[in-house]
Amino acid sequence: MTAKPLVLAAVAALVAAPLQARANDDVLKRIADPAGQVIQTLDYANTRFSRLDQINAGNVGGLKVAWTFSTGVLRGHEGSPLVVDGVMYVHTPFPNVVYALDLDHDGRILWKYEPTQERDVAGIMCCDLVYRGLAYAEGMVFLAQADTTVVALDARTGTVRWKVRNGDPKKGESNTATVMPVKDKLIVGIAGAEFGARGHISAYNIKDGTLAWRAYSTGPDSEMLLDPERTTELGRPVGRDSSLKSWQGEQWKIGGGAPWGWFAYDPKLNLVYYGSANPGTWNPSQRPGDNKWAMTIFARDADTGVARWLYQMTPHDQWDYDGVNEMILTDQPVDGRTRPLLTHFDRNGFAYTLDRETGELLVAAKFDPSVNWATGIDMDKASPAYGRPILDPRFGTEAEGEDVTYSGICPAAIGAKNQQPAAFSPQTGLFYVPASRLCMDYEPFHVDYMAGQPYVGATLTMYPAPGSEGQTGSVIAWDNVKGRVVWSVPERFSVWSGALATAGGVVFYGTLEGWLKAVDAETGKELYRFKTPSGIVGNVMTYEHRGRQYVAVLSGVGGWAGIGLAAGLTDPNAGSGAGDAYAALSSYTALGGQLTVFALPDGP
């Protein structure tokens, strides 16, 4: 496969947008230098593509461990370190410790910040005590704690510049997501849909932590920051009270839709993109209607928070297919002209390509062949059902009501892909997607809402998809314009690590058993593997220090896939169905919390 120079140039322009584009100048300047990393997604476009190429497809097989660091904390280590001006910033799961490490001295600790949080917070975190990482801007490191406290730390000293509480754990609100600095604001999400928490996204002023705006996922237009005439879905105005009309009574107040995933930003359009989670209670019989705007992609003005457009992927969700996975922004040729695209790999097993300026749906195709809950997405623009899934009634979960087991649904609630971010290489024009291949049995039951208590209402059993031969994971290379898989690498377990693509023609990822792997970006051929001390659910990153390129990854098994092992669960149905599905994982790895840094032995 040959490089695609037009795609490469377009993406480079998007990633390194000019300062006059009004994004955060400090962040843009540092993103333009591939030696460091200041946000979890590497760039505002969420490409997770590094322009470093000292480590390449020809020499990656010679990687050796350069140094390691123990975090001192167990449970799932998601996200990745940051590197700024010769200092690496490392985070842990709850209790969300932050370390600043001196790269001139193989990771000597410069300072440590350990927040004080109530232990009760751990009890309201749905799927392990994970945290997806820090962000940096203007001399500050930003931490969003599990208890929803957002903290700005002085990058040199670790002292607190400001802090603010973004939610209320007593209502079931918590945090697992990173934050994103955009212009003079910090974009912050929240978790808690499994507790009936009403999702919201907030923008805080970076200077002092004051609230600039907040937009809810459900409810009145004024609280959602929707303009009924100008905010559109698939080119059509959403109309007045679009959310209220899609819920029964006041169910929207406990409607979920928490944005606990990733954010993207287009400086040219000045739009922030993200997805909202499942609606409150997994039992669909208890919440008639489309349940807008859970399971939705949002495009919001960064200054005001007002939604430009949105798109609900899974109306009236019956399967817990959260829509929070990352939005990846690229400029690519479509039908003979370059268009601003947004690509999203959803838990529901469909990959969506939209025009990120208008919200027009261009491609919607299955990236997991086992998907059966829907036969496809209606792509007829003249149809009233345009953009809606074409459901297969055999795999709905409310046809016979509650306390009935619905079997053979694919994918499982854990998704054909969960939160672990994909990567895009402008050299190949391909997306590299960490994926799962699991199906489920789903038994909904009646549940009453009580603030701060689980509001789930379903029991799940998950198992390998038909035809997977017991291998429940893969990394796939995806063409987002043609909507097809180019190649696929199977894995024993779901791939819960974020992928990293590099200018060296290499794609890195980690496995639940603990292997760091490198494959050829064009073919998927394995080029390197190394067994780290614990399962990898973190996101691989790379940086350059004193002229030498390094690759680093956090290992520490956990997350939803590893919750059974991380939390010592013994009930086969525990961990929202993950306990039994990943029971064999304990034969391959154990708990841990370690950073492993790699380099070529003969580097500069």
Give the DSSP letter string of 502-547. ETTSEEEEE-TTSEEEEEETTT--EEEEEE-SS---S--EEEEETT
Contact 307, 299 (CB under 8 A): yes
Name the catalytic one among 43, 128, 221, 320: 320
Contact 395, 409 (CB under 8 A): yes
| 574 — pLDDT class (breaks 50, 70, 90) | low
pLDDT of residue 6: 40
pLDDT of residue 15: 44
**Looking at the predicted structure, is the pLDDT value of residue 12 above 50?**
no
**Looking at the predicted structure, is the pLDDT value of residue 17 above 70?**
no
pLDDT of residue 572: 66
Question: Going by C-beta distance under 8 Å and a sequence separation of 6 or more, which residues neighbour residue 76?
Answer: 93, 128, 129, 130, 537, 556, 557, 558, 559, 562, 563, 566
Sequence ranges of the domains in the chain:
5-599
Taken as a whole, the chain contains a residue count of 604
C-alpha 217/C-alpha 259 separation (Å) is 8
pLDDT tens digits for 556-572? Answer: 998 878 778 887 877 66
Whether the bond between 213 and the residue before it is cis, its omega within 30 degrees of 0, is no
| 575 — pLDDT class (breaks 50, 70, 90) | low
Percent of the chain with pLDDT over 70: 95
- Range of lowest pLDDT (347-361, 449-463, 564-578): 564-578
Contact 478, 484 (CB under 8 A): yes
Give me the mean pLDDT over the 42-71 stretch.
Answer: 98
Best CA proximity match to 422, nearest among 497, 506, 517: 497
C-alpha 508/C-alpha 498 separation (Å) is 9
Give me the mean pLDDT over the 208-228 stretch.
Answer: 98
**251: alpha, beta or left, given left = phi > 0 and alpha = psi -120 to 50?**
alpha
Is residue 320 annotated as part of the catalytic site, yes or no? yes
**Higher pLDDT pick, 386 / 561:** 386
- Range of lowest pLDDT (15-24, 168-177, 241-250, 259-268): 15-24
Domain 5-599 has CATH 2.140.10.10: yes
pLDDT tens digits for 434-446? Answer: 999 999 999 999 9
| 458 — pLDDT class (breaks 50, 70, 90) | very high
CB atoms within 10 A of CB 454: 15
Residue 29, H or E segment: helix 25-31
Q: Are strands 49-50 and 500-502 parallel, antiparallel or unpaired?
A: parallel
- Bridge partners of 343? 328, 353
pLDDT of residue 23: 56
pTM for the full model?
0.95
pLDDT of residue 569: 73
Tokens representing 229 are 């005439």
**Looking at the predicted structure, is the pLDDT value of residue 85 above 60?**
yes
**Looking at the predicted structure, is the pLDDT value of residue 266 above 80?**
yes
Mean pLDDT estimate for the chain: 93
